[in-house]
Structure 1
Amino acid sequence: MKVVAFERSLQGTGASRRLRNSGKTPGIVYGADKDVQLVELDHNALWHALKKEVFHSSILDIEVAGKSQQVLLRDVQYHPFKQMVLHVDFQRVDSKKKLHTKVPLHFMNQETNPAVKLAGAVITHVINELEVECLPGDLPEFIEIDLATIEAGHSMHAKDIALPKGVTLVAHVIAENPVIASATVPAAVVSGTAAEGTEGATPAA
């Protein structure tokens, strides 16, 4: 995904306010052992880009003064109540160095899960993104989570996920092994099933 930005020379609260009043958003590009670069972006274009999942989780090509560089979106500051982006941070990536970033999870096959169809189970998505480590060229836009076989009363953990080639969980995620999704049977379904069983029972002689 391509991003067009422009060089910004003025700093400070006043300069940033004037930028925002003119429909621009201030930002910075940093990392890869290079100087921090001050940039400005068209606010409306940025606002619409931020609504796309891929903008948050993929390597972006940002063009500044005719030169393109690969970056990751690292931070976004929003106005507390206005629909306004106050500031954005982009981090340069080195194709030869592994990066740590969060990747969105896409849950699949929930509707066809036997526990859902036959046992009335409800599958809850506990987390919707996962922090991984990989080279920039191996970074996936998202990770698919197959929920076809999760059983009622069971949970799926981070270590249970089949990760794409070249992608690994970061150390603290491995240590914590958080729950990704869980399948539970609501109390109303359990009690209803029990009641049906009672009604169908043959009275004792």
Structure 2
Amino acid sequence: MNKTLIAGAVALFSLASGSAFAQSYVGGNIGASHADHGCGAAAASGTITGCDKNDFAWKLYGGYQLPGTPWAAELTYFDLGKFKGTGTGVSADAKDSYWGLGGAYRPSFGSGWGGVARVGAAYGTSKVDYNLGDTLLGDHSKNGWHPYYGLGVNYEIAKNIKIEADWDNTKITSQVPTFGSSTNTVNSYTIGASFGF
């Protein structure tokens, strides 16, 4: 699956050759993430009684904007952080991330201000490290596809350099062996910068 994403990225950025290269950009953001029910599949055990649903998040992305239009294609890597569940003598940590491939609408509002709306497909990974008793401990990774979408605002502080603030949303599915899988909705709120070429 990673080979497919890499091939897609190569095809995407190969469009940015020659004079069209001026439409390419890269960016990075940091901020916070929030999961709707935190510890995901570990809660199905009935032994997890508390969840830390918030953590540090960061993303890296690159895109190619079609010349003369606000439309772009983007490739994103997003680290959503770790969501922790605890109980009496038990614990579980779900570390979530995804690769995203999709489109972006990046209009200019004038006076240096602009916006972005994103939508695409996210290939997510949730790695759960769990200790639910002496006979049930270990780690398990669950991969899967979900849609992602987001909104943002940006301001150009210098030629081809923008400060960006984004909200992003996706779903991540996790699983603990012997229990069913669980799907979290994760919202992220980040700020960073993008650089055009």
TM-score after normalising by structure 2: 0.27
Structure of higher CA gyration radius: 1
TM-score after normalising by structure 1: 0.27
Q: Which structure has the highest helix share of the two? A: 1
| Higher RCO by CA contacts (8 Å cutoff, separation 6 or greater) | 2
Q: Which structure has the highest strand share of the two? A: 2
